[in-house]
Amino acid sequence: MTLSATVLFSFAFASFILAIIIEILAQQSEKKGGFALSKSADDIPAFANFCFLFVPTIVAVIYSLLWSWIDLDVKRTQPWLEMSKPDGTTAERSVFLDYPYDFIAFVPLKAARRRHWAVFYGGTVMVMIFWLITPLQSAILGSGPVDIRRQVVVSAPKVIRPASEQIGIVDQSILNEGYAITWLNQQLPPYTTANYTLLPFVVDSDLTRAASTNWTGSTTKYWTELDCWPATFTPRGPGYDFLDGRGCNATELVPYNGEATPHDPYKMQYYGYHPSDWADYWLSQTCSKAAAHQFLAIWARKKEKMDVSAVFCEASYFKQQVNATVSSVAQIPIEGSIVPTGPREVLLPTEFNSSSFEHLLGAGVSVVEMQVKREYPFGHLLEQHPQIKRFGLRWPSSPLVGFAVGLQSVTTLDVFEDDQILGQAFTKTHRLMFSLGLRRVLTNASSETATMGFLDFERHGIVVSRLYSAIVESLLVVVGIFTILLWWHGMRAPSRLAMDPASLGSLISICQNSSKLLDKFAGKGCLTDENLREAFQDKRFQLVCGCQTRFKETIIKVVDIREEFCESQRISIPDSDIGLSQGHYSPIKPLALRKEVGAMVILTMTTAIAALVYLKLEEQRVGGESLLREPIFLQILENYIPTMFATLLEPFWVLVNRLLCIIQPFKDLWNGQRSANSSINARYTSVPPQLVIWRAAKSGHLVLVAICLLALLSNLLAVGLGGLFNEKPATINTTCEVQQTMRPSFNNDSVMSIDSQLSFARSIAYESPFYIVMNNISQGTTLPPWVNKDYFFQPFTSVPGQEAEAEELTVRTRGFGVRPSCFVADTIRSIGTGPVLNYTYTRNGEPVPSCPTTFQENDLTLNRSFTGEPTGHGTAEVVRSFHRRGSRTPCEVPLVLSWSRTPSITKVDGEIETWHVVCEPIFTTSLFDVTVDRQGYVLRADHASEPSATLDDPLTTNNTDVISTYLNYILGDGMPVRWHNDSLSREFMNYLLKIHPDNANNILDPLEKPDPLALLPSIESIYRQLWAIMLHLNPQFFNTFTEPVRISGTCRKTDIRIFMDSSALVISISVLALNVAVAVVLYGFTITHFLPRMPTTIGSVLAYMAPSRAVREYDGPDSLKGATFSFGRYVGDDGRAHNRELDY
């Protein structure tokens, strides 16, 4: 039996070991972050996934099965232990105890009430294992993202170069970078925020950089602080005097010059301290060196009267040793991660050349601008007027004004009337420029200083839940303690049982010598359980072992309690009792074996199958089930409920199995003439019911085999359901509505308007498209919303009130672009002057009327008298409209690009060789399936229709031709052509060609010949992109709908969803389907109710077999081998009703 000290202590020890293992796993998980850590959930090894999903359930199932065996032995031996007491015990507490067949939840309560402590401990453990440990174990382990921290070596590869070397480096590139950040949504550079920058540091690790990886190390923080205060100003003539109150007086400054118009009533200016030919005014003219770090910001509004606001600000520069955390991919400082480790120190002029920096802010150019040649974008003033003119700001203004307006995200310039807001705007600008400027002066360190830091990164792995692991550990410890207490009570309890009462035969062997006992039970075989218990309510039973009797035989004494009071009241059982002799009764129908219960069980399992199939179909349809946001509820849904369902189903089948185990021998006897091995010697009740499958198979009891199989497969179902639901990221697509306000047609009035012509005139540089393309190529800055490299797309927005949390939207919309149609024209040699290119512009095979047939650039004449004219080998570049009249005719649509080389710039009759490319831009439009993010940035665009050269508007070609001429104007018309002997660009087009990734040809080197054919892809790519950006920057070129038009699209977002594991689903549905099939056979065809009561107690079984000859003649399992046994209703020779007999 399983109640020996060896078995019980082994089980207790195993419980403690399991608790220790879980605790170790929990601590290791907490320490390391998890197990089987991988880059993503899909990279977790299959073996680790199997262990996580199935091993805990398998262990729990085996664990519960072993305890079921122990618990069964405890319950079925309890009656014999009760009868082994010196005074015996009542029938109710002995021969009519039926613990093995009670509902397991009620067993501990009944046992505690009867003070049967062994059963109480065993039953309590059974409840804990069945309904707490087994379901909860599947929630101990979970999968998900894990944050890992590792100590690493951190080094600083950069230092600030000496201040004397910073003069030529602090240049317009800083302002250009600030422009991209302010207006083009470019990310801040590494280790930089808008308020400070960090000295770069790197981590010594081979770990792949990912968005979730952070570096923490010791570094230096640099920042600037500004002290701003209102200026005191008084009128002087047409201007004002501005006083700082500290001895500095900026005199006769005009806040707003000229007559105001309704379109530009505002004027803003920024005046620095340092002198420059590029600045209108500087403070050092009237202020001492004490104001060297000051600047003056002025705001003015001129309408009916002049309104002025002004502030003085003084800058200070600082550094400090800190510990900082940055992301490993973009090295962006993590907000709130800066921890000072040293005092704040002033950044000395010998460390940072603040004079050069402040000169750049005040003048817009570097200190040495007149002595240094630069690429075109970095060699002239940054013009931001196209970005800020919509606010009504009068031109011109200093570069920092554009930053002050752009960084504040204002809708009107009236807010700057408040001098505090004015000061804040320029303070914010100054801080950003300083952060960018300090990064510009960094250089590689000669030696790197190593310190210790941390690497924080995210991995996906298997995580142990601290809550559930602690609960299961506590339960396992309680199980171990209760197991030891069970052994202790079992050791103290007296037992006179000489054999294992595991079968009807063993029960006969124990009771066949107890004639009085058999006589008491004889004739009561047809009584109901209630009547049988009532018949013995005044009886006590005492088990006496063979060592205590004369004949060395184990007997059960029966004592009538009433004999202790009155001998005269002894009741003698008459020889014949009519009521007992009839043998008629209503068969009992155990609840678990009733057809209506079977129907309910079949319905439940069929519903479960349907629910699983439905959930799987829904998962495939919508891409996973929606996720509960509370982790505890999520684990209950994913783990506890499925496992609970399986563990509730298992007790039911175990109960059915146990009932069939006790009925099966009687059923065989009912059929008649059965051998002892398949009937009275069948040991079906000595082991857990699900483990009698082999014995049932040997006896040919196929239905019992099937039920045993179901009870066992219930454990497999627990494994399958326990690993059924898993979380994974999924892309969710839903249909949504968007609206469009821009009509897919051009507004002729807007395109042809005087305002449009003035916007693209050279008087105010219109360079926004070039900065966008330049930063996109060189810095990877994202293109503006609704633009990709080839097209501008008709915008759409979410319907008000229906803004979805979509990360992406896909909508069919129209794209507008251009086919540059560039080709290589003639290569021409000329003497002294620019070559003449013969070219006829044609459309649809016909020459365009009134267009010239030649092109010549007069500025290519050699040996012109210009100051600083270069010598030696020379190169010159031309970017011009074919016909420059400013009349917006089709003749201005073609664009001519040329590259000239000469061996001597100063030789009047020198030879000039010129290579030409001509582009004939043609408008193109198509429908696209465009995917954008929430801000409208284009992620994908797929053609949905054939390209067309026109829209449903007869003026389309006229309008698109004019837009092409506007682009040609800003590309080069009006720009002087100069010979040069260096390889620096003189206008934007050639600079963009120079940095284009597809261009390996050094087109500006005077010693190398260009390859126009190789340049064609780059030229067309840049032109297409510029043309699309022109449309984006000028939405007024399009008509608008009177009311927004709604269209349908697809909203897409990534969400963590619940998915069903395919293997677990197959297991679960297969087991449930088998359950249904067996249940249909069992309840539909095999169950027969023929017993007056269930033989679940010793007394009930004794009542069936007491008068049988089998009791008298049975002499162990080897006796009566040739005999057969039957069971039925008949009145024996003794005149009583009997149920079982030995056949002759």
Segment 377-406, tens digit of pLDDT: 998 889 999 889 889 999 888 889 999 999
Confidence of residue 242 (pLDDT cuts 50, 70, 90): very high
Residue with tokens 């992406």: 808
**Which tens digits make up the pLDDT trace of 118-166?**
999 999 999 999 888 887 887 888 888 888 888 888 998 999 999 999 9
As a whole number of angstroms, the distance between CA 362 and CA 170 comes to 13
632-641, 706-715, 926-935, range with greatest mean pLDDT:
926-935
Which among 20, 13, 111 is positioned nearest to 71, based on CA atoms? 111
What is the mean predicted confidence (pLDDT) over 502-508? 77
Range among 138-147, 496-505, 979-988 rated most confident: 979-988
- Look at residue 1115 and tell me whether its pLDDT is greater than 80: no
Percent of the chain at pLDDT above 90?
Answer: 45
Nearest to 280 by CA among 108, 398, 457, 136: 398
Rounded distance, CA 894 to CA 100, Å? 98
Task: Give 426's pLDDT tier (boundaries 50, 70, 90).
Answer: very high
Query: Which residues, 6 or more positions from 846, have their beta carbon under 8 angstroms from its beta carbon?
Result: none
Contact 1057, 623 (CB under 8 A): yes
Predicted local distance difference test score (pLDDT) of residue 1100? 84
What's the token pair of residue 804?
Answer: 């979805």
Q: Report d(CA 483, CA 972) in Å as an integer.
A: 93
- Give the three-class secondary structure for 1107: coil
Among 124-128, 508-512, 810-814, 1033-1037, the minimum mean pLDDT is found in: 508-512
330: pLDDT strictly greater than 90: no
Secondary element (H or E) of residue 216: strand 214-230
Region 59-65: mean pLDDT is 85
Task: Quickly tell me which residue has 């003439």 as its tokens.
Answer: 673
The percent of residues above 70 in pLDDT, for the chain, comes to 90
Answer whether 105's CB lies under 8 Å from 526's CB: no
Angstrom distance (rounded) from CA 818 to CA 795: 18
For residue 322, give the DSSP letter: E
Which residues touch 1126 (CB under 8 Å, ≥6 apart)?
Answer: 669, 670, 672, 673, 674, 1140, 1141, 1143
Residues 6+ apart with CB under 8 A from 615: 625, 1060
For residue 1142, what pLDDT is reported? 44
Residue pair 362/274 in contact (Cβ under 8 Å)? The answer is yes
Other Cβ atoms less than 10 A from the Cβ of 982: the count is: 13
Is there a contact between 540 and 88 (Cβ–Cβ < 8 Å)? yes
End-to-end CA distance of the chain: 36
Return the pLDDT at 199: 95
pLDDT at 681 over 70: no
Q: 695: which 2 tokens?
A: 């014995």
Can you tell me the distance from the alpha carbon of 231 to that of 269, in angstroms, rounded to the nearest whole number? Answer: 14
Amino acid sitting at position 1113: E
CB burial class (10 A; 0-12, 13-18, 19+) of residue 1086?
middle
pLDDT of residue 975: 72
Element (H, E) at 878: strand 874-881
Q: pLDDT-derived band of residue 649, with 50, 70 and 90 as boundaries?
A: confident
| Contact by Cβ (8 Å): 928, 942 | yes
If one counts every other C-beta atom within 10 angstroms of the C-beta of residue 551, the result is 7
Separation between Cα atoms, residue 772 and residue 993, nearest integer Å = 14
Is residue 1077 predicted with pLDDT exceeding 70?
Answer: yes
Quickly list H helices, 760-873: 768-778
Query: 506 falls in which pLDDT band (50, 70, 90)?
Result: confident
Model-level pTM?
Answer: 0.71
Concatenate the DSSP letters of all residues of 452-521 into one string: EEEEEEEEEEEEE-HHHHHHHHHHHHHHHHHHHHHHHHHHHS-----S---SHHHHHHHHTT-HHHHHHH
pLDDT of res. 577 = 47
| Statement: residue 674 has pLDDT above 70 | no
Only one residue has tokens 């293109």, namely 783
Angle at the Cα of 1071 from the Cα atoms of 1065 and 1076, rounded to 5 degrees: 120
Alpha-carbon separation of residue 328 from 205, 311, 556 (angstroms): 11, 40, 83
Mean pLDDT calculated for residue range 1068-1079: 90
Q: How far is CA 90 from CA 80, 101, 556, 685, in A?
A: 12, 20, 12, 24
> Please, what is the average pLDDT of the chain?
86
Look up residue 104 and give its two tokens: 């397991």
Backbone angles phi, psi at 690, to 5 degrees: -70, -10
Contact indicator for 222, 336 with CB cutoff of 8 Å: no
The candidate with the shortest Cα–Cα distance to 890, out of 916, 858, 921, is 921
Report how far residue 1000's alpha carbon sits from residue 986's, in angstroms, rounded to the nearest whole number: 19
Strands annotated E in 668-789 = 674-675, 725-746
Average pLDDT over residues 648-677: 77
- Sheet of 232-236: strands edge to edge? 232-236, 239-243, 249-253
Asked if 998 and 1016 touch (Cβ cutoff 8 Å), the reply is no
Asked whether 273 and 284 are in contact (CB, 8 A), the reply is yes
Amino acid at 413: L
How much is the pLDDT for 575? Answer: 44
Indicate if the pLDDT at residue 939 is higher than 90. yes
1017: enclosing H helix or E strand: helix 1012-1033
- Residue 182's SS3 state is helix
pLDDT for 637 beyond 70: no
> For 693-738, what is each residue's pLDDT tens digit?
888 888 888 888 888 888 888 777 776 776 777 777 777 888 889 9
Pick from 80-94, 215-229, 1035-1049: least confident = 80-94
The phi and psi torsions of 374 (rounded to 5 degrees) equal: -135, 170
Helix crossing, 55-83 with 117-128: angle to 10°? 160
Residues 799-834, buried b or exposed e (16+ Cβ, 10 A)? eeeeebebebbbbbbbbbbbbbebeebebbebeebb
> Of 242-256, 376-390, 622-636, 846-860, which gets the smallest average pLDDT?
622-636
Is 60 exceeded by the pLDDT of residue 41?
Answer: yes
CB 442 within 8 A of CB 156: no
Report helix, strand and coil shares of the chain as percent, to nearest 5: 40, 25, 35
CB 726 within 8 A of CB 143: yes
At residue 230, φ and ψ (nearest 5 deg) are: -65, 140
pLDDT at residue 102, rounded to an integer: 82
pLDDT, position 381:
87
Helix and strand numbers, DSSP H then E, in the chain: 30, 37
CB 1010 within 8 A of CB 1019: no
- According to the model, what pLDDT value does residue 295 have? 96
- Backbone φ, ψ for residue 588 (5° rounding): -80, 145
Residue 730 or 865, more confident: 730
Kindly state the DSSP code that residue 636 receives in the 8-state scheme.
I
Question: Would you state the pLDDT for residue 865?
Answer: 62
In the chain, where are the structural domains located?
1-156+449-495, 157-188+220-320+341-441, 501-586+1095-1144, 589-724+1061-1090, 791-1049
Pairwise CA distance, residues 119 & 569, whole Å? 36
- What confidence tens digit (pLDDT) does each residue in 531-588 have? 888 888 888 888 887 665 555 677 888 887 665 545 544 445 444 443 444 456 778 8
Structure token pair of residue 46: 């299959």
User: How far is residue 886's CA from residue 507's CA, in Å, rounded to a whole number?
Assistant: 119
